[in-house]
Amino acid sequence: MANQRNYQKELEKLLEDFQRENRVPTLFLHSCCAPCSSYVLEYLSSYFKITVFYYNPNIYPKEEYEKRVQELKKLVQKLPARYPIQMQEGSYDPQRFFTMAKGMEELPEGQERCFACYRMRMEESARLAAEGGYDYFTTTLSISPLKNAGKINEIGEELEEQYQVLHLPSDFKKKNGYKRSIELSSEYGLYRQNYCGCVFSREEARRAGRI
Ligand code: SF4
């Protein structure tokens, strides 16, 4: 069963293999935001040449989208890394998100709308990773305690088949990854948003009094 696998251990095994073989593969890394990327970049940039891909048409409104892009740029410029980190921005096409979310608007965070949202962003990443000849693709999403790592890895493996590019397993919240992302966000003065990203999650946060 997918959910019983330990994706962090699977990742560690791969990293050990790279070191033993003296390999530094390329990684196309989908990023949801700077705070989540901070720990992931600190961790993986010792093993991969990374291109961080910011593709998040789910984010609402546009000003919030822009703010998150700027924070990620700031982080990539400042973060020390053993191997170079590049950044690529996808297109901001919010209509694509709304079409995808149709009929699922009222669902709470963490259900089917979110699984489709992971897939939409990961699929664009897998497609471009394959097109660009990258060794691996993955996403920072599994760092959040609110995201379903089993589902993220399941989708990643389906996309690996579909686009013929290797999916890097992850459960970045393990090994205190989430805690470290909070420390790094504070160290680099990063803006930490208090809702996931879409207009529906913003409303949910409002109802809960978080914003
Ligand atoms: S709550 Fe987050 S993951 Fe779920 S649909 Fe909205 S932006 Fe996507």
Domain range annotation of the chain? 2-14+24-207
Is 60 near ligand 1, meaning CB less than 6 Å away? no
- Ranges of the chain whose pLDDT falls below 50: 2
Please report the pLDDT score of residue 190 as a whole number: 97
pLDDT per residue over 159-170, tens digit each?
A: 999 999 999 999
The CATH code for residues 2-14+24-207 is 3.40.50.620
CA gyration radius, the chain: 16
Please report the pLDDT score of residue 4 as a whole number: 84
pTM value is: 0.97
Quick one: which H or E segment has residue 49? strand 49-54
Q: Residue 12: how many CB atoms within 10 A of its CB?
A: 14
132 phi, psi to nearest 5 deg:
-85, 0
Q: Are 59 and 79 in contact (CB under 8 A)?
A: no
60 phi, psi to nearest 5 deg:
-135, 140
Residue in 31, 33, 58, 193 to alter for ligand 1 test, most ligand atoms within 8 A of Cβ? 58
Is 195 near ligand 1, meaning CB less than 6 Å away? no
Residue in 33, 200, 210 to alter for ligand 1 test, most ligand atoms within 8 A of Cβ? 200
Share of the chain above pLDDT 70, in %: 99
Is 117 near ligand 1, meaning CB less than 6 Å away? yes
